[in-house]
Chains A and B, each alone.
Chain A
């Protein structure tokens, strides 16, 4: 149901843009107003989310330790999996954010002939990392539309990405890889009964937005070629706050439409994991809670409990009978 709904949303989106920007010619609305609005929703939405998390305290040091703690001097400890200080935490977080360390650990359980087997299963990691890095490179590549002259690093990335010179204009490797990765990430949700069971409309929708974004981009570059000069004039105009919507094919507005949908949807969806991962208390704290004093959260109150002296009053006779010492200090 979720997958069908999300697909219909995407179709509707394309339909609305086609009618709006194409047939009715509302290029200002679809080219300028909506993208600006979506961008600011994204920007302020993400800041809002970040603040809403950051203002909630972390009362306890609930690190998930995935390696040997620091203890005796001769015990070899794991700095990356059980960080003891903030520098080591930084390293752990870098691995987590840039290499998807935890996902790399993934195993697949199988029950065969009454025995459980746990085989390495890195496909999810591979698809995830391919998708995220390609997305990043594609995003960076797009800065050539927003800068003049185009900075050299972006030109270099562009050249590397189209290194194989397939077709004219050259096919970007990242475009091909991201399509493959997205296809994998989508199909696994349908193919694995467990994943199908847990997947919601909100899991398919962002996948479809990104599919739409990539496919419309590819169409525009390779098949329904649009006038890049006009596009660049427009995008530079966006940066300088006086954009003139370009007179190009509707496919361009569909591309911008998917981007706007994704940006506006971002802060209210699971996509906020992009920022959330940095705040995860099981990963971003040092495993040094016995060595270092950590103040509790402001709301935390020290517990009230039955003191020894109160307890002794109850068991006084029994203590004396059993020859256990009575603490006279309780009566001072």
Chain B
């Protein structure tokens, strides 16, 4: 890993004591490799119609901002202050009590004081005061106010792309000030002058034009999933065909493209496919709305809505009854908190989700008509509709990583834990101050899971990794389960760095391992392999 010190060196480098110099004078920030993401390519910006496309680097002296960048940003700020109460209120009411200071994983791992949530917001608040309020204009620095300069833009870019919008600080804030809202506004303002990152905007472009983050065209998507079905046949002997773009199906299934593209997400995908086959569900995937994730959420509210709207559009065209969403973190923040308001109401053909197997009506999704696959599975298990053999996961000692968005943007804690406790025999939670609403980010959330950001990813991931290490040492945990595609992409790297012997999986991978099909029960073809095509019971294998 380039730009990343050894774990021991990284740990020794952490110092939470801020420098002597006043933070307001400490601009521009010293921009270090490994702590910023590469800027968006001009071609991408042109294609999605974003301003100021150009070649530039955060390491350059001249960022080639438009000459009137001050007016552009201040107008943008005024506009958003009149549109979002959250933004205006959060600019006004912070008392700098400091309760949030040591709650941010990026601060804990880097010690950079501008990563304290209070100061991250203050970077913006100082401009709001200094440019838009008379108190700030008059009292300046004494009121915590300053003027907008090119150096401030550089500072914003550096620090608003060192926040993963995880909202942990917002749990501890006595006024519920949510740094995520501030970061979102910071990023929206930075877009206006063309300061953004490629790792976010290329997926956005791909989503808008092709249909998913990775830009997988429809025929390739079908092919990839067919490969996964061959793997499923290898493991279970079942020949399964995944329905695509099937009109009149009962359920549209939408999941992040990471689930059918990369390890270990693909094993989770195999899990969904096996589960739906087991139940003989009338379901379909779409090659048009082929992405559950939504990097638009990390870009701007408008972009988020534009990407999400395709799902309802497709549900309407296919005349399905309801939608099931796969395991994904930020996707579920969008589906839970934004979908209905930003892109609803749901098309008329959709009905209140009703589990066709158990008859359970999902009242909690009465309006969006979209349920989480873990809600669906938990309901099935609770009704005893799945034959499960948890001993098939006995080689794993499992813990669960609460992903930020389902935790603090949804309140999704019990459903996945209920499933895990039913599909494996060895489950241990991490220490209570690192899970549920107090969970720590994987260090790579909100579209920061790129290689060039590795130093900050490993630092930001330290609190999570450290808690995993604790349960590894105490209970021998060797499997970190999660319900987020970015987690599945980012946590293996993090574990490899901090806690090398722990693997990462999705919840439905473990469900699929434990799921007993009739032909397996009858002894016709007992299961010997897990979804990864490794022996279910390695020791037994050796003895043979």
Contact = CB atoms under 8 A, between A and B. Distances in A.
Interface in B305-331: 305-310, 313-314, 317
A81 B436 CA distance: 12
B158 interface: no
A298 to B, nearest CB: 10
Given A201-B143, A291-B364, A308-B313, A64 B176 contact: yes
B276 interface: no
Interface in B186-242: 208-209, 211, 217-219, 222-223
Contacts of B345: 293
Interface string B269-289: 000000000000000000110
B11 A192 contact: no
Contact of B84 (A56, A111, A194, A276): A56
A217 interface: no
B521 interface: no
Contact of B92 (A100, A111, A128, A276): A276
A324 B218 contact: yes
Contact of A57 (B83, B99, B246): B83
B337 A270 contact: no
Nearest to A205: B142
A296 to B, nearest CB: 5
A130 B146 CA distance: 34
A87 interface: no
Contacts of B418: 75
B367 A270 contact: no
A218 interface: no
Interface string A304-319: 1111100110010011
B74 interface: no
A64 B178 contact: yes
Interface string A101-133: 011011111010011101000001000100000
Interface stretch (B114-122, B421-429, B485-493): B114-122
B157 to A, nearest CB: 21
A15 interface: no
Contact of B98 (A58, A67, A116, A192): A192
A211 to B, nearest CB: 16
Nearest to A292: B367
A52 B135 CA distance: 16
Interface residues on B, range: 35 or more
A318 B217 contact: yes
B89 A61 contact: no
Interface string B80-123: 01111110110011111111011100001000010010110010
A69 B360 contact: no
Nearest to A314: B209
A253 B99 CA distance: 37
B151 interface: no
B409 interface: yes
B95 A273 contact: yes
B301 interface: yes
A5 interface: yes
Contacts of B341: 59-61, 289, 294-296, 300
Contacts of A152: none
Interface string B381-424: 01000000000000000000000000111111111001000000
Interface in B423-446: 431, 433-434, 437-438
Contact of A290 (B8, B245, B364, B408): B364
Contacts of B52: none
A276 B89 contact: yes
User: What secondary structure prevails in chain A residues at the interface with B?
Assistant: loop
A306 B143 CA distance: 47
Contacts of B308: 303
A202 B408 contact: no
Contact of A53 (B8, B89, B246): B89
A62 B382 contact: no
B351 interface: no
B172 A198 contact: no
A158 interface: no
B340 A72 contact: no
B56 interface: no
A115 B466 CA distance: 7
Interface in A246-290: 268-270, 272-273, 276-277, 279-283, 287-290
Contact of A194 (B113, B301, B340, B462): B113
Interface in A46-98: 49, 52-53, 56-72, 74-78, 81-82, 96
Given A67-B411, A71-B364, A279-B85, A107 B433 contact: yes
B367 A293 contact: yes
B185 interface: no
Given A67-B411, A194-B18, A289 B144 contact: no
A27 to B, nearest CB: 30
B287 A324 contact: yes
A223 to B, nearest CB: 32
A202 B142 contact: yes
B313 A74 contact: no
Contact of B86 (A62, A72, A96): A62
Contacts of A305: 208, 306-307, 309-310, 313
Contacts of B409: 62-65
Contacts of A100: 174
Contacts of B246: 325
B342 A296 contact: yes
Contacts of B337: 60-63, 289
Contacts of B177: 280, 282
Given A114-B11, A272-B93, A305-B208, A311 B306 contact: no
B14 A111 contact: yes
Interface in B1-58: 8, 11, 14, 16-18, 22-23
Nearest to A206: B95
B18 A315 contact: no
Contacts of B309: 302-303, 305
A43 interface: no
21 contacts: A53-B92, A58-B86, A61-B338, A69-B364, A106-B99, A108-B102, A194-B98, A198-B118, A203-B95, A270-B95, A276-B175, A288-B364, A289-B367, A290-B336, A290-B340, A290-B366, A290-B368, A293-B367, A297-B83, A318-B217, A318-B218
Q: Which 4 A-B pairs have the closest CB atoms?
A: A69-B411, A276-B93, A65-B411, A322-B219
Given A194-B116, A198-B119, 19 more contacts: A102-B175, A107-B172, A194-B98, A198-B118, A270-B93, A272-B93, A276-B93, A279-B85, A282-B170, A282-B176, A288-B364, A291-B366, A291-B367, A294-B341, A305-B307, A305-B313, A308-B314, A315-B218, A324-B222
